[in-house]
Amino acid sequence: MSIIGHVIRLRSVSFEDMELLYNWRNDPAVVAASRTQREVTKEEHAAWFSAIQTPDLSGFYGRCIYIAMLLDQAVGMLRIEYDGQFVATI
């Protein structure tokens, strides 16, 4: 699928994306490029997914997750992590 001439839009992650992100995370190419270089379990993934949707005690969400959409198809993920000091890592 070519992206030339198309717009990629971002939407906020939702609970319905948990399985999609789990499958992407355990794709062999992603596993090979990850820090741990191992697949995550469903339990580990569920804990991570819950944590990204839960604010800390100050109400601060340390990260935002977006799903990249092309022609109504999910094609990627964007993760923005905030350090609480007005600095973010994408």
pTM score of the predicted model: 0.81
pLDDT > 90? residue 1: no
User: 10: how many CB neighbours lie within 10 A of its CB?
Assistant: 14
> pLDDT grade, residue 81 (50/70/90)?
confident
Work out the angle at residue 49's Cα, subtended by the Cα atoms of residues 45 and 52, and round it to the nearest 5 degrees.
140
pLDDT band at 22 (very low <50, low <70, confident <90, very high): very high
31-77 pLDDT per residue, tens: 999 999 999 999 999 999 988 877 665 556 677 889 999 999 999 99
